[in-house]
A = this chain, B = another copy of it.
């Protein structure tokens, strides 16, 4: 069954305190080699029927109006096959 995934990430120029908190915690936990962490959101949407271009256009509209804040976040919509 196909599933539509929406990834919402803070824009590169926007400060990301959650990502910074993770980045700061890694060395304290003994993990090295990570230079940056950004934290965002992932939405998995199950849709009725086939994922057509019209469905994707509607999901992009949802992403823009409900799932993300376009002033500070970027989003990406894609289809993922599930087992």
Q: How many copies of the polypeptide does the oligomer hold?
A: 2
A48 touches B33 (CB 8 A): yes
Q: Which residues of chain B come closer than 8 Å to A29, judged between CB atoms?
A: 62, 65-66
Q: Which of A39-74 contact B (CB under 8 A)?
A: 39-49, 55, 58, 61-62, 65-67
Chain A: interface size category? 20 to 34
Q: Which of B36, B39, B44, B61 has a CB less than 8 Å from the CB of A37?
A: B44
Please determine whether B43 and A41 come into contact, CB atoms closer than 8 angstroms.
no
Q: How far is the CA of A39 from the CA of B42 in the complex (A)?
A: 6
Verify if A14 is at the interface (C-beta below 8 Å from B): no
Would you list the 5 A-B pairs with minimal beta carbon distance, nearest first?
Answer: A36-B46, A42-B42, A38-B44, A40-B42, A35-B46
